[in-house]
Amino acid sequence: MKLWEGRMSGEVDARLNQLNASIGFDQRMYRQDIRGSMAHARMLGKTGILSPEDTQAILSGLAAILADIDAGRLTIDPEAEDIHTFVEGELTARIGDAGKRLHTGRSRNDQVALDDRLYLADETLELIAGVKHLTETLCTVAEGHLTDVMPGYTHLQRAQPVTLAHALMAYAQMLLRDMSRLQDCRSRTMVSPLGSGALAGTTYPLDRRMVAQELGFHDISMNSIDGVSDRDFALELMSALSILMMHLSRLSEEICLWCSWEFRFMTLDDRFSTGSSIMPQKKNPDIAELVRGKTGRVYGDLMTLLTAMKGLPLAYNKDMQEDKEAVFDAVDTVRLCLEVLPPMLESAAFHPDNLRKAAAQGFINATDCADYLTKKGVPFRDAYHVVGALVKQCVEAGYTLETLPLSAYQAAHPAFEEDLYQAIDLLNCVSRRTVEGGPAPEAVRAQIAWTRAQLAEIKDAE
Ligand code: ARG
């Protein structure tokens, strides 16, 4: 039996059911649906719209349904149109007429908007906890590599020396911003639409603020038409998740490169790698590749809902039911990625010798070499040209700046002296970059401490 039987007679076409039903995917919101209905019922009782007996019957009925679903004693009927229909139908089957009074002053339109918000707000807390854990992992791994010099890249060309710790902590900073975006979007999600009715509010003297407060919302929506037709909160969440996935994808790309024989900066633990069915030597970074690959999927989820929403006239339209599969998929995908990255990073072995070797080969101390001359009074642009010519000479003769003899330096410029080698020593080059936010070990140690202090401020539970 459809909730809306009455206006229409007879059975609907089975094909309509298939397209129309959302129970297959919205049943995961049963807790939020019941929580919302209990708050609504309590308010109906408090305001005298429902009798104390009916209110009590509804509350215990809903509590029993929740317990039964949780315990697996009650299966959600796949034939029901959606989770809201199922819960109301089950309640009525259990308690009779009182169950039919639950929907007083409410529409499925404000109910589904409420459920969406409650569900996504809960999920967002878990996502924040996941990002937090990954950030903590990056801090811990970074702490072990404060003096491991590696090339920093621009254009994927070796550019200047940094440390592995500094490179990893760059990702931690991205994740801090992701968490702040998630918190921010959650605060706009925690606005209660209940009381908007179908679109035009209601004539019952509802206490909207009581319901909102009971459910942990910090505000109520201020326009009933907007209350039922707004899905910004889902879009914002998917936008934040898209940016987060872009970060995870960049980290993953880096991991794929670093695991290649060309780089050999790290090796993944066997538990987090896969092999090939034909090439016996293969050890593949599939997890990183999948995180990179699934990023496109999350962007797709965002585009799905943006596109579904863009042409909708006010207020609720059934197109909006499409919000759920998209946002659930985005949330599930991100959660999976966040679960697998920390143990993969923790168990990976980094190879400081190879990092160091790569750092020694790209003339990444050329800027420091030019700075050395500048400190001796040579104008920077002149020093730049002198060192450029020296690099050319090294490339041709197979030297690095560290192995090029002093005589060659002095032939290029008389200001070069023996202390030059100190100045271009890679660890010295990094250690001198003590500017706040720089790669010197002490600066990165401070960065890690600062990041941990930020993490301690992040609320990941209510
Ligand atoms: N399953 C619907 C959804 O997800 C619930 C709202 C139904 N409202 C309606 N007017 N048909 O959007």
Q: State the catalytic residues.
A: 155, 276
Going from the C-alpha of 48 to that of each of 9, 124, 170, the distances in angstroms are 35, 35, 57
In a domain, 154, yes or no: yes
Residues 316 and 417 in one domain: no
Query: Which of 313, 331, 357 is a domain's end point?
Result: 357
Q: What is the CATH number of the domain that holds 202?
A: 1.20.200.10
Query: Which of 299, 327, 357 is a domain's end point?
Result: 357
In a domain, 461, yes or no: no
Dihedral sign, CA of 312, 313, 319, 325? Answer: positive
In a domain, 76, yes or no: yes
Q: What is the pLDDT of residues 111-147, one digit of tens each?
A: 999 999 999 999 999 999 999 999 999 999 999 999 9
Q: What is the pLDDT of residues 80-102, one digit of tens each?
A: 999 999 999 999 999 999 999 99
Ligand 1 centroid–CA 319 distance in Å is: 9
Residues 314 and 379 in one domain: no
Residues 441 and 406 in one domain: yes
Going from the C-alpha of 195 to that of each of 62, 173, 233, 339, 460, the distances in angstroms are 20, 41, 18, 38, 29
Q: What is the pLDDT of residues 172-189, one digit of tens each?
A: 999 999 999 999 999 999
Ligand 1 centroid–CA 55 distance in Å is: 25
Q: What is the CATH number of the domain that holds 441?
A: 1.10.40.30
Banded model confidence at residue 1, pLDDT cuts 50, 70, 90: low
Residues 323 and 362 in one domain: no
Residues 192 and 251 in one domain: yes
Q: What is the pLDDT of residues 276-330, one digit of tens each?
A: 787 888 789 999 999 999 999 999 999 999 999 999 999 999 999 999 999 999 9
Residues 197 and 327 in one domain: yes
In a domain, 171, yes or no: yes
Residues 14 and 128 in one domain: no
**E strands in 119-180:** 149-154, 157-163
Residues 199 and 143 in one domain: yes
In a domain, 462, yes or no: no
Residues having CB closer than 6 A to ligand 1 are: 22, 26, 82, 108-109, 112, 316, 318, 320-321
User: In whole angstroms, what is the distance from residue 334 CA to residue 329 CA?
Assistant: 8
**Domain span at 49:** 5-104
Residue from 321, 324, 327 whose mutation best tests the ligand 1 pocket (most atoms within 8 A of CB):
321
Q: What is the CATH number of the domain that holds 73?
A: 1.10.275.10
Q: How many other C-beta atoms can be found within 10 angstroms of the C-beta atom of residue 389?
A: 12
Which atom belonging to ligand 1 lies closest to the Cα atom of 116?
A: 4
Residue from 22, 32, 103, 108 whose mutation best tests the ligand 1 pocket (most atoms within 8 A of CB):
108
Ligand 1 centroid–CA 227 distance in Å is: 14
Residues 347 and 328 in one domain: yes
Residues 232 and 350 in one domain: yes
Residues in Cβ contact with 116 at an 8 Å cutoff, skipping those fewer than 6 apart: 29, 231, 233, 234, 323, 324, 327
Residues 133 and 33 in one domain: no
**E strands in 72-222:** 149-154, 157-163, 191-192, 219-220
| Percent of the chain that is helix, strand, coil (3-state, to 5) | 65, 5, 30
Residue from 8, 112, 328 whose mutation best tests the ligand 1 pocket (most atoms within 8 A of CB):
112
Q: Return the pLDDT at 461.
A: 57
Which atom belonging to ligand 1 lies closest to the Cα atom of 82?
A: 1
Q: Return the pLDDT at 280.
A: 80
Q: What is the pLDDT of residues 24-57, one digit of tens each?
A: 999 999 999 999 999 999 999 999 999 999 999 9
In a domain, 431, yes or no: yes
Residues 197 and 343 in one domain: yes
In a domain, 156, yes or no: yes
Tally of domains in the chain? 3
In a domain, 385, yes or no: yes
Query: Which of 77, 104, 131 is a domain's end point?
Result: 104
The single residue listed with the structure tokens 């139908």 is 89
Q: Return the pLDDT at 14.
A: 85
Q: Return the pLDDT at 3.
A: 74
Nearest CA to ligand 1 atom 7: 108
